[in-house]
Amino acid sequence: MNLSEMVDRAASDRPDHPAIVFEDRTISYGDLLRSINQLANALVKSGVGKGDRVAVIMGNRPEFVMAYFAAFRIGAVAVTLNPLSTAHELSHYFTESKPSAVVCKPDQVPKLQALQDRAQYVKAIITTEAAEDAISLDDIRKGSSDQFTAADMQPDDPAVVIFTAGLLGRALGATLSHSNLDSNSIMLAKQCNGTHEHHGLAIIPMFHAFGAAANLLNIFRVAATTYLVERVDFPTLIPWLQKARVTFTGLVPMVYYGFLYHPACKDLDLSSLTIGISGGAALPYEIYEKFCERFGIDIYQGYGLTEASPVVSWNNIHVLNKPRTIGVPIPGVSVEIHDENGKSVPAGVEGEVVVKGPNVMLGYLGRPKETEMVVRNGWLYTGDLGHLDEEGYITLTGLKKDLIITSGFNVYCQEVEEILIRHPQVADVALIGAPDLMRGQVIEALVVPESGVRPDEREIIRFCREYLSRYKCPRKVTLVKEIVRDQHGKPSKWN
């Protein structure tokens, strides 16, 4: 099997059917397959082969889709990275994954040039437009064949690496197989009653597992059309969205909030939408109620994590929607609640949510010990606390892991704290999540200053942004005299 063959099937059955709509561009399945094949040939010509890794650094645009499937096609592994990553973050990701090729927009090239040892393993940099030290996709289209036969892959061969600070608080490459992704896309397509007439909306970044599974693979599985949004700007998005007549989408709560309250959305018509999934963070019940009341559309809240490809459970159209829960396990996946000794507990008893099924990752790239810490006896230990009811619905109640979820992004406190403690005026630091209706939580940094100094709060935030993506950086800095931590190292009180 090869995951890219879903594009072959769609191009064979419906070559002229729109696969992608992006801004003013519409790309059919036939044209998309030809572009994927041209890029696959160029990668092979550059010396990239089966088992190598291809870094894809861009947002939701057609070139991401082309690079994603071209990597699969040659038997390589797509390493999907946030284009907002700093050079500091990219240095870590590249050191861990050693990509043989990079596909990106020209604005990423200066960051790549700052990576000192990249020349030892990067054989080609391919950009969406002409750039120094890179091959442009236009040149590839002129010089590459549009025919390519997908490499024969085993179900457990790796397909993607997605960096997540994981369940262990530091950025590790979760490796997902062709079978992992295939099982999630088949499940979503079936449970959404997907057909080629679906119009999917891809706002969640596809470099995340949720965005790729819900809004790309799910849509391509049934040869439907996906509408790509690279940047959420409601005044521009809404007129375009009205023409799209979207029938399906997976979104984070912040976007549902925007549909309700942004001034550009006051006349928004979502009557075409039949299935709206919410994931990435808890959906406030207030937002759920107001959205359903205004638009007359239900929202189905789900749950997942990168290490599970990512979908674990959701309230779907085939079961009773219990919006205060994260639904029931998807078909083929088992969920239990375990106590501190790894024993299953009865319904109603809180413990750690653990997952077993075809969606559980192969492991963390090059990190067998870390993998063994979270996958034990076939169960993925999620670090999330919750309980089951008598009907098997899951309710999350808290976190074992030191994590803040803001605007659907997971921010692992250790990663940020390790940067902030480098500041010469910071003696101690801890992060907390401050409640926020739109974003779920916003990051607040508790800072103990070095003796005799009073750091400028804005300068501390600027310092953090030199090293980390903006969404990981605190929005607020509070100076305190002391931070007291609990047995797990989390701040329990401060003054």
| Topology agreement, domain 5-153 and domain 199-399 | yes
As given in the structure block, the two tokens for residue 280 are 């990435």
Domain-by-domain residue ranges, the chain? 5-153, 199-399, 403-494
More confident residue, 299 or 435: 299
pTM here is 0.92
What pLDDT digit, counting tens, does each position of 441-457 carry?
Answer: 999 999 999 999 999 99
Radius of gyration of the chain (CA): 22
* pLDDT value for 410: 84
Q: What's the CATH number of domain 199-399, 3.40.50.150, 3.40.50.12780, 2.40.10.10, 3.40.50.300?
A: 3.40.50.12780
CATH architecture of 5-153: 3-Layer(aba) Sandwich (3.40)
What pLDDT digit, counting tens, does each position of 125-156 carry?
Answer: 999 999 988 999 999 999 899 999 999 999 99
For the domain 403-494, what is the CATH code? 3.30.300.30
Cα separation, 407 vs 439, whole angstroms: 4
* pLDDT value for 57: 98
Closest by CA to 445, choosing from 455, 460, 427, is 460
pLDDT band, very low/low/confident/very high, at 167 (cuts 50, 70, 90): low
What pLDDT digit, counting tens, does each position of 309-333 carry?
Answer: 999 999 989 999 999 999 999 999 9
Q: Which amino acid is at 428?
A: D
Per-residue pLDDT, averaged over 452-472, amounts to 94
* pLDDT value for 212: 96
* pLDDT value for 166: 61
Cα separation, 98 vs 90, whole angstroms: 11
Given a cut of 90, is residue 168 above it in pLDDT? no
Burial of 315 (0-12, 13-18, 19+ CB in 10 A): buried
